[in-house]
Structures are given as structure tokens and as C-alpha cells.
Amino acid sequence: MRIEAFLRESPMFTVKRASRHFDRVAADAFSADGLGFMEGLLLAAIFFEAPRPIKPSHLAETFATTRGNVSHAISSLEAKGLVQRKIDPSDARGYLLALKPPGKRCALRVIAAFDRMQRGFEQKVGRAALTEALDAIRALESCKHI
Amino acid sequence: MRIEAFLRESPMFTVKRASRHFDRVAADAFSADGLGFMEGLLLAAIFFEAPRPIKPSHLAETFATTRGNVSHAISSLEAKGLVQRKIDPSDARGYLLALKPPGKRCALRVIAAFDRMQRGFEQKVGRAALTEALDAIRALESCKHI
DNA sequence: GGATATAGTTTACTCGATCAATCATTTAGC
DNA sequence: GCTAAATGATTGATCGAGTAAACTATATCC
């Protein structure tokens, strides 16, 4: 088989390449705010949850990643003055996250960018096909090992 | 909107999460050989092209990445004793890549793992749906900016 | 022959992710 | 009530992959 045909049929490579592409697109879109893709998503998540503050563990679960990873990303957002950690009054082990005013403005820009991208996607492949494709990709994630 | 609904409809996040999942699956499958996902793909690419040796620039194009990136990965594969660089007799600027015997055996394991994964995917979502989903994902890559 | 283009490497850097160790607090068991 | 175990989160070290720019060496074109 030719490698090109192999890659073309491979969900793993197709998904990986698309992921890289989206990283570049997001980095480009958020370059003014100096955010990465994941940072933008976290900011959007905190915004959507407002005014209810959100816990890091909730974010880790939502984004299917580790707490350590979220902790690092939040530290980065905090260093940029976008997010604030406050001790959770109901559980002093944990923290609650809230947007600072610049973070709120930044989140709005991020969400607007995601929305524009979403419209571009739906225009490109159609809403129904997009939904089906995402369902298929999600289903692949249940293949846990080779 | 809830962040969960936002993420569910977002191709960018769905694709990114799946990409991370595949990274973990591949790292797990290739752990005995100490290969990453991309290293495995490169090895498979060189194997598929054999006996015709392959140029790094060809790999960079095939995998939609930079030459620098390929150069790093090849160096890593070379350090593991899997791949060999030879000066291209027809163009002394370039190199030709070939598998050393351990690299060949390793490539066979890698390809077998990819094939098992592929069968798992097709069993999970069906061959037709898989093809459609990949076509949709590829189409999204033509959205160049937000 | 000299300017320019090309192949590849190198260096430094970023981002996202993971792991193990650690700390503080909460909960559970006795 | 007090200790032991579980939990929420941070830290620090490390990794893989990717990028960009500078650089070397060779090839090509006029």
C-alpha cells in the first residue's frame, strides 16, 4: 500500500492533522491575547459557568484531562490577569475560579472567534454531516487500546 | 449555553480530545519500542515506500509538517537504531532514508497495531460512516482562519 | 561564474500533557 | 474525638510534537 492511501484511511492521522491545524488557527486567532487553544477553551468554560464560579476539578473532567494540566493552565491565565482563584468557602481544599474584567472581555472575543469558526464549519460541510462526523469521532474514543 | 453543550458541538474540541486519546493509545501500543505516534507513522511511511528509499522532504509533505520537525523525528529514530540516513547520490544536499533490520521489524509491529486499530474503528462506527466522517474532518481543514 | 533557490539541520522556544511527590483539608472508622 | 485514609489541588520534572529563524551545503539558472 502507498503511505498516502494508508494515511487517508487512517482516522488517527486525519484527526491528528486536523488537531494540529486547529491549534494553528486558534493560536492565530488568539495571538493578540497571547492564548493557546486550551487556554481559550478554559476561559470560555469559566465564562459560560458564570456567575457560578467553577472548580478546577470540574474543568479537568469537562476537558478530559488531568488536574495537574488544568492547574498549570489556570496559573498561566492567572499570570495574564484574566482569572482569579478564590478559596472555596464550602471546602477549603479547593478553589473557585472566576474571570477578572479583562478575562471577561477576552472570553467574549474567544467565544466570538469559536462561533465564527463554527459557522464556517457548518457552511463547509453542513450541519447534519458535521454532527454525524463528530458522533463518529467520539465513538472512536471508546477504542481504548490496540 | 452550558460549556458541555458548547464543547459537544465544537469540532475543534472533539477533534483535539480524540487526537490526545489517540496519542495515548499509540504511546501505549508502542511503549515496548519506545516510539511516539508520529515516530510510528514515519516508520510505517518509510516501510511502505521500501525498497525505494524516501526523502525527508517527501515525509514532511506527506505528514503536513515542517522539515525541521521531520529532521528531529528522524534523528530520534536513527538514535534508536531503526533508520539510516544515506546521502542521496542524485542530490548531495539531500538524504535518503531506509529502515535498518530492527526498524523493519518494528515497522511491521507498528503497522499491525494500526491495522488492528483500524478494524476496531470500522467495527465501532462502520466503514461508510468512518469514511464520511474523515471526509468531513478533512474538509474542515480548509477553514484557514477565524 | 555568481546570484539565487533548494534540502536539510540546528537551536531555541512554545504548548499541551503526564507523572510522582507533596500539602492541606475533609471524611470515615473506631 | 482522634487517627487514618481519601480527596482537591499544586508543584516540579519531563516529554512529545510543533514552529520559526538562522545556518550549511549543494544545485540550478542566467
Per-residue pLDDT tens digits for B97-135? 999 999 999 999 999 999 999 999 999 999 999 999 999
- How far is C-alpha A24 from the geometric centre of its chain's CA atoms? 13
Residue B20 included in any domain: no
Please list the residues that pair with A83 across neighbouring strands.
A99
Residue A57 included in any domain: yes
- Give residue A62's pLDDT: 92
**A145 pLDDT exceeds 90?**
no
Rounded to a whole number, what is the distance in Å from the CA of A103 to chain B's nearest CA? 16
Task: Write out the three cell numbers for A19.
Answer: 488537531
Give the integer Cα–Cα distance in Å for A103 and A73: 14
Q: Do the Cβ atoms of B95 and B46 come closer than 8 Å?
A: no
- Residue A68: what residue type? G
Residue B64 included in any domain: yes
State pTM to two decimals: 0.91
- Give residue A144's pLDDT: 77
Nearest 5°: the CA angle B99, B105, B108 is 100
Under 8 Å CB-to-CB from B3, ≥6 apart: which residues? Answer: A44, A45, A48, A49, A62
Residue B122 included in any domain: no
Check which CATH number belongs to the domain holding A95 and give it.
Answer: 1.10.10.10
**A1 pLDDT exceeds 80?**
no
**B144 pLDDT exceeds 90?**
no
Task: Write out the three cell numbers for A135.
Answer: 458522533
Give the integer Cα–Cα distance in Å for A86 and A52: 13
Rounded to a whole number, what is the distance in Å from the CA of B91 to chain A's nearest CA? 23
Question: Which nucleotide minimizes the distance between its C1' and the CA of A23?
Answer: C15
Q: Do the Cβ atoms of B81 and B106 come closer than 8 Å?
A: no
Percent of chain A with pLDDT over 90: 73
Residue the block writes with cell 482563584: A85
DSSP-derived 3-state class of residue A43: helix
Give the integer Cα–Cα distance in Å for B21 and A63: 12
Mean pLDDT (chain A, rounded): 91
Helix/strand/coil percent split, chain B, to 5: 65, 10, 25
Model pLDDT for residues A118-136, shown as the tens digit of each residue: 999 999 999 999 999 999 9
* Residues of chain A positioned with their CB less than 8 A from the CB of B58: none
Under 8 Å CB-to-CB from B28, ≥6 apart: which residues? Answer: A145, A146
Model pLDDT for residues B43-94, shown as the tens digit of each residue: 999 999 878 888 999 999 999 999 999 999 999 999 999 999 998 888 889 8
- How far is C-alpha A54 from the geometric centre of its chain's CA atoms? 15
Residue A15 included in any domain: no
Count of the separate structural domains present in chain B: 1
Q: Is A136 close to B141, i.e. CB distance below 8 A? A: no
Exposure on the CB side of residue B51, measured as CA atoms within 13 A: 0
CB-nearest partner of B139 from A12, A124, A145: A124
* Residues of chain B positioned with their CB less than 8 A from the CB of A116: 146
Structural domain for A42, as ranges: 26-114
Residue B33 included in any domain: yes
Model pLDDT for residues A12-47, shown as the tens digit of each residue: 999 999 999 999 999 889 988 889 999 999 999 999
Residue B33: pLDDT band by 50, 70, 90 thresholds? confident
Asked if the Cβ of residue A68 lies within 7 A of any atom of strand D, the reply is: yes
DSSP-derived 3-state class of residue A136: helix
Could you say which nucleotides of strand D lie within 7 A of any protein CB atom? 7-13, 16-22, 25-28
The integer distance in angstroms from the CA atom of B91 to the C1' atom of C16 is: 38
Residue A1 included in any domain: no
Residue A90: pLDDT band by 50, 70, 90 thresholds? confident
Helices then strands (H, E): number in chain B? Answer: 7, 2
